[in-house]
A and B are shown apart, each in its own frame.
Chain A
Amino acid sequence: MAMSVLLAVFMLCAVIFSIFHGTTAEMSAGLLGGAKDAVSLVLSMAGVVCLWCGVVEVMRRAGLMEKLADVLRLPIGALFPESKKDASLRGDIAASVSANLLGLGNAATPLSIRAAARLHDISGRTGEASDSVCALIILGSCSIQIIPATIAAARASQGAASPFDILPAVWIATVAGCASGIVSGQLLKRVWK
């Protein structure tokens, strides 16, 4: 539903604006050009995306996710106090965070749901999110992917000189975003009843 409204708003704005600004010809050409570009764009992204998904699968089969999850146990214990006593809960949270870090798209969402559901059960609240559940979901809504392969593929498809040169900037923005999410969660939980 949200997507339908978004699309309708886009097209409505484009049509009305073009009538008032005499750009109807360009606008109408844009409609067909955009549709054509979408397919060639995805085709030109396909190589990088497939290569990266292959590497991610190699990581998964080599057990890198579990190794990363081991490293994450300590900081996760600090952020989610109830996981200190419950090793399997901490394991679930660590698994979901490390799947997100590695960009295991298909595996990450079910793991995040599992971790959130277990935290929610432990909180004993019905329907309302506890502070820990809030923290986990806020973290889940921040992109913590180390290698944003789809974006690098999009840059490559547009002829970037070095598609991955945005990595350090992505890491800075990712860390700043996550830190702000965690801090605002900690601040808001004091005032939000």
Chain B
Amino acid sequence: MIWQLVTPLLILGVVLFALLRGVEVFDALIAGARDGLNVLLRIVPALVPLLAAVTMLRASGFLNAFSELCRPAFQWLGIPPECAPLLVVRPFSGSGALAVGIDLMQTHGVDSLVGRTAAVMLGSTETTFYAVSVICGAAGVGRTRYIIPAALLADFAGYISASMAVRWLFT
């Protein structure tokens, strides 16, 4: 498959390009990796209570019942009903959505249709309410007019096309 070469070639290309421009590549790699560790350190404390809560929801049977409740509407839209909890959490909390996504990968299999769709949804959408409130707050924008409805429509289109793309490419 061609995209198995994408990441190695991309990294190799970046390294060669940077070398030609006289960048100390190894120093930069180490500095970036240290940033990465800081990112992870910030994620862990949030992920512990969130993954605990999501695992409780899964084990209690609530998530299955919720997905079943959403099944008719989701099937009509072409979205796997199992992904319903992810859609609810995604706009509000990035680490919460990661916790739900991990749970879906564990429960249904990381390379299953549901596991892949969850990953694609996570990779192609943002924590909308958080992003909008941070940027508007810092930029001094008070009334956001139609920003939230348009951003949620964009998310919704992202969910539907993520489901379609995974179905086309992996079945």
Contact = CB atoms under 8 A, between A and B. Distances in A.
A184 to B, nearest CB: 4
Contact of B135 (A64, A113, A150, A155): A113
Interface in B146-165: 146-147, 149-151, 153-162, 164-165
Nearest to A136: B135
Interface in B125-171: 125-126, 128-129, 131-132, 134-136, 138-147, 149-151, 153-162, 164-166, 169-170
Given A120-B139, A143-B123, A169-B166, A17 B62 contact: yes
A129 B136 contact: yes
B51 to A, nearest CB: 4
A104 B58 CA distance: 33
Contacts of B145: 128-129, 134, 192
Contact of A168 (B3, B33, B60, B61): B3
A58 B28 contact: yes
Interface of B: 1, 3-4, 6-7, 10-11, 14-15, 17-18, 21, 23-25, 28-33, 35-37, 39-40, 43-44, 46-62, 65, 89, 92-93, 96, 98-99, 101-102, 105-106, 110-111, 115-116, 119-126, 128-129, 131-132, 134-136, 138-147, 149-151, 153-162, 164-166, 169-170
Contacts of B150: 134, 138, 181, 184-185, 188
Contact of B153 (A17, A42, A63, A184): A184
A154 B98 contact: yes
Given A37-B55, A160-B110, A154 B35 contact: no
Contact of B124 (A30, A41, A112, A173): A173
A13 B143 CA distance: 34
B135 A170 contact: no
B153 A113 contact: no
Interface string A156-191: 001111101111111011101111110011001100
A134 to B, nearest CB: 5
A185 B129 CA distance: 16
Given A21-B61, A120-B139, A37 B51 contact: yes
A39 interface: yes
Interface size class of A (residues with CB under 8 A): 35 or more
Contacts of A140: 126, 131-132, 135
B53 to A, nearest CB: 4
Contact of B47 (A41, A106, A159, A180): A41
A172 to B, nearest CB: 4
Contacts of A17: 57, 60-62, 65
Contacts of B96: 3, 6
B169 A168 contact: yes
A109 interface: yes
Contacts of B115: 158
Give the one of A27, A54, A165 with max B CB within 10 A: A54
Nearest to A56: B32
Interface in A22-59: 23-24, 26-35, 37-39, 41-42, 45-46, 49-59
A105 interface: yes
A177 B93 CA distance: 19
A21 B64 CA distance: 12
Given A13-B57, A37-B51, 6 more contacts: A29-B59, A53-B32, A58-B18, A137-B132, A148-B124, A176-B160
